[in-house]
Amino acid sequence: MFLYRRRVQFYETDAQGIVHHSNYFRYLEEARGELLRHLGHPYSLLRERGLEVVLLSAECEFLKPLAYDCEFEVLLELSHIDRYRFCFDYQLVSEGLLRARGRTKHCVVKEGKIVSIPPEIRGKLTEFFSGLCRR
């Protein structure tokens, strides 16, 4: 599991002082970006190679709200990978409580067409997550 830590900023909250639902998807994206950076494949290098990691679907279940200045962690796990697609599952945790959980599905695109996940990226993902993913 990959761990990404963060603190809620004031601008991310709504009139009730809690995180607006749209920001949860940003937290998931930040965690994915940090994972790829950690694995040596940041988005910037992928884009230099003409590759884009495309979001195919995203879902989030909101369980307990996050509020301004709250520290939280995003736990990210690879839940599926095949030749063309991969999925991540997420848990957002603060003060020992599960606040939200989500899932995203992705593919890799080059010149507007879906391509196989490059072997070095697929290898790094599967190696990091130690074969724990459900295929």
Is the whole model's pTM more than 0.85, yes or no?
yes
Instruction: Tell me the longest C-alpha to C-alpha distance in the chain.
Output: 46
Q: Which CATH number fits domain 2-128: 3.10.129.10, 3.90.45.10, 3.30.870.10, 3.90.180.10?
A: 3.10.129.10
Model confidence pLDDT, tens digit, residues 98-126: 999 999 999 999 999 999 999 999 999 99
The reply to whether 89 belongs to the active site is no
Give me 34's structure tokens. 């940090």
Catalytic residue from among 14, 69, 82, 89: 14
CA distance 107 to 73: 25
pLDDT digits (tens, 9 = 90+) for 43-99: 999 999 999 999 999 999 999 999 999 999 999 999 999 999 999 999 999 999 999
Residue 91, pLDDT score:
98
Q: How far apart are the first and last CA of the chain?
A: 16
Provide DSSP, 48-97. HTTEEEEEEEEEEEE-S--BTT-EEEEEEEEEEE-SSEEEEEEEEEETTE
